[in-house]
Structure 1
Amino acid sequence: MSLAPRAVLVHRTTEYEELLARHGTHGQAAFFLSSRGRSIEEVRLRHERGRQALAEVAAAVPLQWRQARVERADLDRFLFGPEDVVVVVGQDGLVANAAKYLAGQPVVGIDTDPGRNPGVLVRHRVADARALLASAERTGADELTMVEAVTDDAQRLLALNEIYLGPPGHQTARYTLGLPGAQAASEAQASSGVLVGTGTGATGWLRSLWQQRSSALRLPAPTDPRLAWFVREAWPSPTTGTTRVEGVLGPGESLRLTVESDRLVAFGDGMESDALELTWGQTVRVGVSATALRLVG
């Protein structure tokens, strides 16, 4: 007998809860914010809207389904199953946080604060949750391209928006960059890091680099099986070059980076706490992942 679907509700600790954890009581948190010209009432109301939305989505799960909840900080310890329907209740960034731990499960994004969130990935309202869950396994989903980094010792990192490779602080990263195909010649570089991103990430950090240098590259769309990459602040010297600082990767192509510093890191979607540690002589390849995010439209 096959298992009934399981709705996994992904949420995150609210700002109000974080304030209470830090300051102990509502009054102390209110005093802290007022000393900085902010009112705690706005924060408390957002907290209540978010918690009410989570409760309403939980109540909309079909009765015959199983149900689980996972907070963002616990995603790396949660075991998702192939029969799961993942319901992200919160902000766009929370979808990206969950995506790297999935393997093709459908994802429904529920916006808890319409008008405050862009709603690019959390596309639906709380009132739509019941109908969406009832049809989630049959409804068509957008296959959003993801990016992955694989090291020469088989460590793997997956991201929905972008992967950053570079120094953990403000030092200079030193490495050799190898390009695919006809551009296969490598170049020794010194920079503040390399960013490789998807079409989903092309609305954020990736776009800021693209605009900053007035690049002529055509950024990918979220479902395009292409990635764009940029080297940040490449430094010319007698031993390091700046001729290979941007490009596009297609299916089967990868950017190759060989570390020539004591320590570099690779992390995805801004999650520095979940980074790969890269040491001298180690090689990492970054390219289009075979795994895509199935986002229910």
Structure 2
Amino acid sequence: MSIEYAIIVKNKTRLEALIERFNTKSQAKFYIERLRGDFHDYEIEDEIFHDSLNSLQSQLSKVIKHKIVDRTYLPSYIFSDKNVIVTIGQDGLVANTAKYSQSRPIVAVNPDKGRYDGILLPFDTTNFIGGVESVLSNNYQSRKVNFAEARLNDGQRLLAFNDLFIGASSHISARYKLSFNESTEEQSSSGIIVSTQAGSTGWLSSVFNMAYGVAGLFEKNITPKHPKLKDDQLLFAVREPFKSIRTQTDIAIGMINNKNSLRIESLMPTGGIIFSDGIESDFLQFNSGTIATIGIANETANLVRI
């Protein structure tokens, strides 16, 4: 099937989000400068992004028809087999888009190489068109990335490119029953993080930083080691587990692969939640009676490479 449209996925810049919040640019500027912030940096960032976006659109228009989709509409947007997806923004935008792409090719563009590291952004506005053309000719190289999956006992499911969070929607302790590798225990904690290979250097790394920091206070000369996951592995970590008469802390961390899974039963009457990749607005309710099975999804992200 031939590609007919390029779908450009973008996010609002910080300046656009401020103007949306305060109605005008002048009011946004007053707010930031009153707090002694550097409003000029917001302006520079916005200008560079829109210069990159304009360049991207101009080049695409010579090759293929295109339209823009804002990140906020991704959960309800249905991509077609006739689409090539072009993201322009930070790495997180690639993660958010990949969940809804259904393995369609993604050309990820870094709009500001002086501001974003771009671990997931192999292209910029000087070379991305080559990536698009390779997809149009069906002669492209890509990196396949596995998703984590949370599947509920009512059939609902949620994918994660970087990580899943299972816990409470506020800063109260989450209560649940956790089963892993033939062991089961009731727990109370700040929630569970499940990380993919792609996300292992992000949120999950903060758990290890905290653990080594605490251990280092009592034990000197500890060399921090962060996990290096394979593409077919997930790592889960329980945040701040609390031991009591009813709750245990023996299952604090574990590796999930294609041969096992993590099972979590909610013990929270209300306020239980599962969300992925830091997007709390796209979530599954996780209240009493709900059982979540966490494993590796069948779907993969399809990231075009140079």
Displacement over 4 Å in runs of 4+? 214-217
Shift of 1:19: 1.9
Tell whether the 8 Å contact from 1:60 to 1:129 is kept in structure 2 after alignment: no
Corresponding position of 1:227: 234
Separation in structure 2 between the aligned mates of residue 237 and residue 125 of structure 1, nearest angstrom: 53
**TM value normalised by structure 2:** 0.90
**TM value normalised by structure 1:** 0.93
* SS of equivalent to 2:3: coil
- Residues 62 and 141 of structure 1: CA distance in aligned 2, closer, same or farther (over 3 Å): farther
Corresponding position of 1:277: 285
Tell whether the 8 Å contact from 2:143 to 2:304 is kept in structure 1 after alignment: yes
Shift of 1:5: 3.3
Give the letter aligned to residue 281 of structure 1. Answer: G
* SS of equivalent to 1:134: helix
Of residues 253, 257, 260, the one that matches 1:250 is 257
What are the within-5 Å matches in structure 2 for residues 98-247 of structure 1? 98-136=97-135, 137-179=138-180, 183-214=181-212, 218-221=227-230, 224-247=231-254
Tell whether the 8 Å contact from 1:62 to 1:133 is kept in structure 2 after alignment: no
Give the letter aligned to residue 130 of structure 2. Answer: A
* Alignment: residue pair count: 291
**Which residues of structure 2 form unaligned runs of 5+?**
213-223
Tell whether the 8 Å contact from 2:7 to 2:83 is kept in structure 1 after alignment: yes
Tell whether the 8 Å contact from 1:178 to 1:184 is kept in structure 2 after alignment: yes
Tell whether the 8 Å contact from 2:3 to 2:84 is kept in structure 1 after alignment: no
Corresponding position of 2:218: none
Q: Deviations over 1:55-91 (max 9, x none)?
A: 2112222646332210011111211112321111011
Separation in structure 2 between the aligned mates of residue 115 and residue 217 of structure 1, nearest angstrom: 27
Tell whether the 8 Å contact from 1:111 to 1:123 is kept in structure 2 after alignment: yes
Tell whether the 8 Å contact from 2:200 to 2:227 is kept in structure 1 after alignment: no
Q: Deviations over 1:130-174 (max 9, x none)?
A: 211111342111111211100000111011000000010011111
Separation in structure 2 between the aligned mates of residue 30 and residue 246 of structure 1, nearest angstrom: 45
Give % identity. 30
Q: Deviations over 1:264-292 (max 9, x none)?
A: 10000011111100111210011111111
**Which residues of structure 1 form unaligned runs of 5+?**
none
- Residues 24 and 211 of structure 1: CA distance in aligned 2, closer, same or farther (over 3 Å): closer
Corresponding position of 1:44: 43
Separation in structure 2 between the aligned mates of residue 135 and residue 56 of structure 1, nearest angstrom: 19
Separation in structure 2 between the aligned mates of residue 259 and residue 29 of structure 1, nearest angstrom: 42
Separation in structure 1 between the aligned mates of residue 299 and residue 73 of structure 2, nearest angstrom: 21
Separation in structure 2 between the aligned mates of residue 103 and residue 22 of structure 1, nearest angstrom: 33
* SS of equivalent to 1:74: helix
